[in-house]
Chain A
Amino acid sequence: MGMGISALLSGLVFGAGLTVSRMIDPSKVIGFLDVAGNWDPTLAVVMAGALMVTLPAFALAKRRVKTLIGHPLTLPAPGQIDTPLIAGAILFGIGWGLGGFCPGPGLAALAFGLGKPLVFVAAMVAGMVGYGFVAKKTNV
């Protein structure tokens, strides 16, 4: 099995999981973020369910140097808690709160039609490309 097939399968299950848990619905996400309103804890349960799998699975992966199909397995090295991390998280948080979409659900919501989800995804792509361009110019 090649990396392409693996990634396709993983993406399919990931997108299906976002759909089943209804995290592709911005009103569900904003219901979670709206702690002072009619609070909906659904997103917390989704995160907990995902972590129930990734916590043991990533702990096991730390002991290996190769994947099951022989590719190198290197987890990201521990990084610093620096200004770009915090500033980026703040900008992302504002955008997430305004629209109710983060990157995964935004992309998966394209399956629901090319109106508003496409507007969000196009703007997100523009933001990423713009950031990459500026970062390359300034050599950050």
Chain B
Amino acid sequence: MENFTPVSALIGGLMIGLASTFLLWTTGRIAGISGILGGLLSFERTNLRWRAAFVVGLIFGPVLVSEFGPGITPITIDADIPLLIAAGLLVGIGTRLGSGCTSGHGVCGIGRLSVRSLVATVVFMATAAITVFVARHVLAGGV
């Protein structure tokens, strides 16, 4: 567990919670990223402005941390291009079919005590853990 970074995790988690609260308390909307992005990409022509504004903010959030905050730690993406394409397609289809992702079902859904969101969160976390287990310890022979 030497990779564990609890202090920055708690601070970042509180920020995510505050951001979700601010969106709900001002706009009345749920900060579910897949729902917001999916809405932008759907055929409906309403709610485009606030959804686009949220996505722009999300992309510039890391810039804020690197310019005015403690700086950023480089990220590591182990997956190769074909794997990332498969992952992206599955995440895109799965979050729309299941009506939510880690933010909408996890942070906001559990936050409002939705049993449906709790079930979804348990299912996608367990499936993701099984996927990593198979990829790392079964197929790759325990890297």
Contact = CB atoms under 8 A, between A and B. Distances in A.
B115 to A, nearest CB: 7
Interface in B73-113: 73-79, 81, 83-99, 101-103, 105-108, 110-113
Given A3-B27, A14-B20, A58-B112, A42 B5 contact: yes
A97 B135 contact: yes
Given A45-B9, A119-B88, A107 B17 contact: no
Contacts of B30: 75-76
A137 B29 CA distance: 28
Interface string A81-117: 1001111111111111111111110111111100011
A130 B93 CA distance: 8
Interface residues of B, number: 113
B97 A84 contact: yes
Given A107-B33, A111-B59, A19 B65 contact: yes
Query: DSSP majority for the A interface?
Result: helix
A12 B31 CA distance: 12
A49 B10 contact: yes
Nearest to B42: A132
Contacts of A57: 17, 20-21, 24-25, 111
Contacts of A100: 77-79
Interface of B: 1-6, 8-31, 33-34, 37-38, 41-43, 49-51, 53-66, 69-70, 72-79, 81, 83-99, 101-103, 105-108, 110-116, 119-121, 123-133, 135-137
14 contacts: A8-B53, A19-B61, A34-B136, A39-B1, A40-B3, A54-B108, A86-B123, A88-B98, A100-B77, A101-B84, A104-B58, A107-B55, A117-B77, A127-B93
Interface of A: 1, 3-28, 30-31, 33-43, 45-55, 57-59, 61-62, 66-69, 71-76, 78-81, 84-104, 106-112, 116-117, 119-132, 135-136
